[in-house]
Amino acid sequence: MPWIKLTDNAPRHPKVAALSDRAFRVWIQSLCYAAEFLTDGVLPWAYLDQVPARVHDELIGGGLWRNDGPRIRIHDYLAHQTSKAMVEAERQRNLARRTGGVPAEYRRGTGKKPRPEDRSTEGSSSPPVRPPAKTAENLGDGTDPQ
């Protein structure tokens, strides 16, 4: 689950200190929304429809939100928060770490668990090479220097 980064002096920043209590709360909520839904700071109209016009104008006028053509963006969101691409990459790394790189069908018990020598050739078109079975013929009499 993503989280937002907020410095301990953010409420004292001149842009933020000038906000009304309601606008401050909506600004924090917008940061949380963007992080939760991985919007990279773009606020959808479904979210903005719930924001009173007075608060919307206060956040735009205060420079905490900005008009970006047909959309509203949180100012400098990606300079301070984690991007969608980074969150998804971290999720993939965590999944691979937790599962040991074993494919999903094997984790769920729907397939035969791969042997270590089979895993190293995944994605290869040739079957894994196995050493020949030990027999009396290839064991020798013990006098071969090996």
According to DSSP, the residues that pair with 66 across neighbouring strands are 73
Express each pLDDT in 45-55 by its tens digit.
Answer: 999 999 999 99
Domain boundaries, the chain: 10-80, 83-112
Residue type present at position 80:
H
Task: Find out whether 102 and 118 touch, Cβ atoms under 8 Å.
Answer: no
For the record, the structure tokens of 131 come out as 């050493």
CA distance 4 to 12: 18
Q: What share of the chain is helix, strand, coil (3-state, %, to 5)?
A: 45, 5, 45
pTM over 0.85: no
Q: Which residue has the tokens 């919307």?
A: 56
In this structure, what DSSP letter does residue 42 have?
A: E
Tens digit of each residue's pLDDT, the chain (146 residues): 678 999 999 999 999 999 999 999 999 999 999 999 999 999 999 999 999 999 999 999 999 999 988 899 999 999 999 999 999 998 888 888 887 766 666 666 655 666 666 655 555 555 666 666 666 665 555 554 44
Task: Find out whether 2 and 36 touch, Cβ atoms under 8 Å.
Answer: yes
